Structure formats: C-alpha cells, structure tokens
Amino acid sequence: MDLAALGHAVAKARHAANLTLDGLAERSGISRRMLVEVEGGRINCTIGVLHGIAHAVGVPLGDLAQTACTDSRTN
C-alpha cells in the first residue's frame, strides 16, 4: 500500500474541488487533523474515511483507493 500516493491523490482531488482543508473537513465530516495525516501519507485510513473524502470531492471511491494499490497482479 502506497500511503504517499494516496495522500497525493487526496490533496490533488481536494484542490480540484477548490476546497481548503477546513472546507473538506466541513463537507466530509472528517477532522482537519485526520485529513492532514491522510494527505501527508502518514496514516492508513479506514474505508469510511476514504469514502467520506471521495464523496466530498466528487471522486469515485475506487479511483482514490486505486492510487494506494501497489499490487501489480492483474485480474
């Protein structure tokens, strides 16, 4: 799992949605501190947190989750 890549994807999606950290916290119901940790790639967040972020920035959950996947196997 590439937490740095996930953090980068979350930050990119937040910027694309024209949201500050405080705005994303308000829209998603996730604390600003948690968002800072996720964007910094320092925390392995739950699917619930990732879902809240994805919903708040208008990005499919699978798209954000895929950025963290380091499994090279194909299905």
Enumerate the domain spans of the chain. 3-71
pLDDT bracket for residue 73 (50, 70, 90): low
Q: How far apart are CA 27 and CA 41, in angstroms?
A: 21
pTM exceeds 0.95 for this model = no
Q: pLDDT of 27-62, one tens digit each?
A: 999 999 999 999 999 999 999 999 999 999 999 999
Q: Residue 57: count other Cβ atoms within 10 Å of its Cβ.
A: 21
Amino acid at 43: I
- Looking at domain 3-71, what is its CATH homologous superfamily? lambda repressor-like DNA-binding domains (1.10.260.40)
Distance, in Å, from the CA atom of 19 to the CA atom of 11, rounded to the nearest integer, reads 10
